A and B are shown apart, each in its own frame.
Chain A
Amino acid sequence: MSVLISLLIGLVFGCGLIVSGMGNPAKVLAFLDLAGDWDPSLALVMTGAIAVGLAAFRIAGRLPTSLRGKPLQMPTARQIDRRLLVGSALFGIGWGLAGICPGPALVLLGTGAAKGFVFVLAMLAGMAIFTAFERLSRARQAQSDAGK
């Protein structure tokens, strides 16, 4: 059941990206180009999404579990650390280079665009490099802890 629900929600999310213009990298870059002919449309995408999100997370905050009785897996991290800031900066630079973030990347893959396919491959590689990098730094940490 969760699989079917997730598939349908993914479809709704993807259609939202298409309707909103987020699925058009040229439009995303026009939004990020404050010094050029600025297209402010995407500010309204955030506005619409957050308006619904605010209500949903308010309701979720008062529930003991999800409506289907599943645990509410809210993020627990609170600290604003170097990882958060460096990671977000790198992500922002990549987003500014091509105008594509992870959701729209998958939508572009579905349109059959060869460039979308290449972007998704590179993005998955970047994520895999992160996983490897994490594993390495954890192993190093364990090694230095053992040496103490």
Chain B
Amino acid sequence: MITIDWLHFTPASALAGGLLIGLAAALLILLEGRIAGISGIIGGLLQPPRKGDVAWRLAFALGLVAAPMLYQVLAEMPQSRIDSGWATLVVAGLLVGFGSRLGSGCTSGHGVCGLSRLSPRSLAATIVFMTAGFVTVFAGRHLFA
């Protein structure tokens, strides 16, 4: 049985944030003709540069990094906590970087844009990474805790 943690359930802000993420993805495709896949946008910077294909990627990444700085000025930052230890973070980062590039996308490229395009390929990717995420947390918290 699933027990829902009503105390930490934040439907309104989750939905509002989701709409903003969707808006960003919408603007990028409608104005620039590009898919808002973060792993693809960053990963493209680590490949041999193509002319005219670097600055926009850097600018988008800079926007993400600057977002909390801007947000802090306008409103109070919601709580954020990283509980993982250093070694876990390094392994997790390597897997996220390598895996998202090998699989051609992450939560944004496959999960948001791909599902919005009704792509069967992205649906398969999303089912696989969600399942892998659920299983990993289950193993870490309940099997080998």
Contact = CB atoms under 8 A, between A and B. Distances in A.
Given A42-B14, A53-B26, A98-B84, A125 B68 contact: no
Interface secondary structure of B, over-half rule = helix
A46 interface: yes
A127 to B, nearest CB: 4
A84 B105 CA distance: 9
Interface in A87-135: 87-103, 105-111, 113, 115-116, 118-131
Contact of B99 (A7, A55, A87): A87
Contacts of B103: 83-91
Nearest to B13: A19
A129 B96 CA distance: 12
B88 A106 contact: no
A141 interface: no
Interface residues of B, number: 113
B83 A122 contact: no
29 contacts: A9-B63, A11-B64, A14-B68, A16-B20, A23-B78, A25-B83, A32-B134, A36-B142, A37-B4, A44-B11, A47-B18, A48-B21, A66-B30, A80-B121, A88-B132, A93-B99, A94-B94, A98-B82, A100-B96, A103-B64, A105-B93, A106-B61, A122-B91, A126-B94, A126-B96, A127-B46, A127-B101, A130-B101, A131-B47
A89 B132 contact: yes
Interface string A38-71: 1111111111111111111101100101111011
The 7 closest A-B pairs by CB, nearest first: A10-B63, A20-B17, A14-B67, A126-B97, A48-B18, A87-B103, A92-B132
- Which of B105, B107, B126 has the most A CB atoms < 10 Å from its CB? B107
